[in-house]
Amino acid sequence: MNTKQLASELRSIAEEIAQSVGQEMHERRSQGFSWETKSTATDVVTEIDTWSEEVIVGKLTSMRPSDGLLGEEGTNTEGTSGVRWVIDPIDGTTNFLYGLPGYSVSIGAEIEGSPIAGAVFDPIRSELFSASVGSGATRNDTPIEVSGKSELSSALVATGFGYDPERRKQQAETLRTVLPAVRDIRRFGGAALDLCSVACGRVDAYFELGIQPWDACAGSIIASEAGALVSIGHMSIVASPAIADPLTALLEAAGY
């Protein structure tokens, strides 16, 4: 089986699990849940994050027992197949806690650190985003593409903030450079859906300092298959192609 065929199979698995777990997660929310904080006093994990990761890992392990697994809530196992699943059981946990839209289940698959397939399910809008390498990106089975925006000055740009106060000071400082140079900034609350929003043209670009592998894995293949330029690293930038360079230059001017 070649990589494109393998990626297509992994995409179907990610779609099925993200959608079923996302729907049940949403139902469980209405029944109440406990939560606690983890890395800082603002970084929340709920019992439904933990439940979601357990269910996703259980399903993946039974379907693909030789694959590796990495999940935000502690899963980290080596596989033998060369495929590793990278899971955010709830991306946008703060939104989930408050009952705001913008949270999702994110399941990506990578080979040697490169995402090749993934699915992100938004239970509030009933939207399933997915992609696999070489086969394009879809929302609820309809192909999607980036906005094609050509001017940074009229670009709507999403970003996010981490949980560490020192990092937040840097992020606030960066906004002083970016905000006057773009149409506006959006902070929706979930990086996975931010990347899907670039993919379907709801925003023109996204940047964020210091995101984690589980925030980006599925969303980055969805965005790149939709035509975005994707750079995930210390400063991640995902943009409709013509504004990637000017946004990168602006962020470099802000010190990155």
Cβ neighbour number for residue 160 with a 10 Å cutoff: 21
Give which of ligand IPD, Ca ion, none residue 162 binds (C-beta under 5 to 8 Å, depending on kind).
Answer: ligand IPD
Neighbours of 23 (CB within 10 A): 14
- Nearest to 214, CA basis, from 64, 63, 49: 49
Q: Kindly tell me which of 67 and 215 has the beta carbon lying closer to ligand IPD.
A: 215
3-state secondary structure of 36: strand
Neighbours of 167 (CB within 10 A): 14
Would you say 147 or 159 has its CB closer to Ca ion? 159
Q: How far apart are CA 40 and CA 42, in angstroms?
A: 5
- By the rule CB under 6 A, 161 interacts with ligand IPD: yes
The answer to whether 206 touches 156, Cβ cutoff 8 Å, is no
Does residue 118 interact with ligand IPD by CB under 6 A? no
Extract the tokens encoding 42: 């603002």
160 binds ligand IPD (CB under 6 A): yes
What tokens appear for 160 in the block?
Answer: 């996010």
In angstroms, the CA 143 to CA 145 distance is: 7
Contact (Cβ atoms closer than 8 angstroms) between residue 190 and residue 95: yes
By CB under 6 A, tell whether 22 contacts ligand IPD. no
**Contacting positions for Ca ion (CB under 5 A):** 72, 88, 90-91, 93
Give the residue at shortest CB distance from ligand IPD.
160
Task: Tell me if 254 contacts ligand IPD by CB under 6 A.
Answer: no
Site for ligand IPD in 214-233 (CB under 6 A): 215
**Looking at beta carbons only, is 131 or 193 nearer to Ca ion?**
193
Select the binding partner of residue 191 from ligand IPD, Ca ion, none (C-beta < 5 to 8 A, by kind). Answer: ligand IPD
Binding residue for ligand IPD (CB under 6 A) from 93, 104, 220, 236? 93
The reply to whether 189 sits near ligand IPD by the rule CB under 6 A is yes
Binding site for ligand IPD (CB under 6 A): 72, 88, 91-94, 160-162, 189-191, 208, 211, 215
